[in-house]
Amino acid sequence: MLFTGRSRELGWIRGILDRQDPQFVRVVGLAGVGKSALVHRATSDFPGVWLRCPPLPDPAHRAALARALAPVGDDAVSTQADWATLLDAARRLAARSSRPWVLVLDDAHRLTEARGRFVVAATGVLRAAASEGTALHVVMVGREGDTPGEGAFEEFAPDTLEVAPLPFRAAAPHLPGSDPESRLRAYGVFGGIPRVLAALDTSVTVGTNVRRLLLTPNGELSDGPLAWLEREVQTPSRYVSILSTLAHGETDWAAVHGGVPDLTRSGQVAPYLRRLGELGLVSSRTPLDAGPRSRATRYALTDPFLAFWFRFVFPWLFDPRRADPSASVREHYGREIRPLIDGHMETVMPVVARQHMELDALETLGSVARESGSLWSGEVEIPVAGMLRSGAAYYGLTTWRPPERAASPLHTLDRFVRETRYGFGRERRLRLVFAGRRPPTWLRRDTARSQDTRLIDAEALLGV
**Amino acid at site 207:** G
Per-residue pLDDT of the chain (464 residues; tens, 9 = 90+): 567 778 899 999 999 999 999 999 999 998 889 999 999 999 999 999 999 998 889 899 999 999 999 887 666 788 889 999 999 999 999 999 999 999 999 998 888 877 788 888 989 999 999 999 999 999 999 887 777 766 667 777 778 899 999 999 999 999 999 999 999 999 999 999 999 999 999 999 999 999 999 998 889 999 889 988 988 888 899 999 999 999 999 999 999 999 998 887 878 899 999 999 999 999 999 999 998 888 889 999 999 999 999 999 999 988 887 766 666 888 899 999 999 999 999 999 999 999 999 999 999 999 999 999 999 998 899 999 999 999 999 999 999 999 998 889 999 999 999 999 998 888 899 999 999 999 999 999 999 998 999 999 999 999 98
Residue ranges of alpha helices (H) inside 26-137 are: 35-43, 58-69, 83-96, 115-132
Domain locations along the chain:
7-163, 346-462
Same fold, 7-163 and 346-462: no
Estimate to the nearest angstrom the gap between the alpha carbon of 276 and the chain centroid.
Answer: 12
What is the pLDDT, as a whole number, of residue 394? Answer: 97
**pLDDT for the residue 209:** 96
Give the pLDDT of residue 148.
72
What CATH number matches the domain at 346-462, 3.30.750.24, 3.40.1190.20, 3.40.50.720, 3.40.1350.10?
3.40.1350.10
7-163: CATH topology: Rossmann fold (3.40.50)
Q: Distance between CA atoms of 322 and 306, rounded to whole angstroms?
A: 21
- Beta strands 251-252 and 298-301 are antiparallel
pTM above 0.85, yes or no: yes
Contact between 9 and 38 (Cβ < 8 Å): yes
Instruction: Return the number of other C-beta atoms located less than 10 Å from residue 75's C-beta.
Output: 9
Q: Rounded to whole angstroms, how far apart are CA atoms 114 and 403?
A: 58
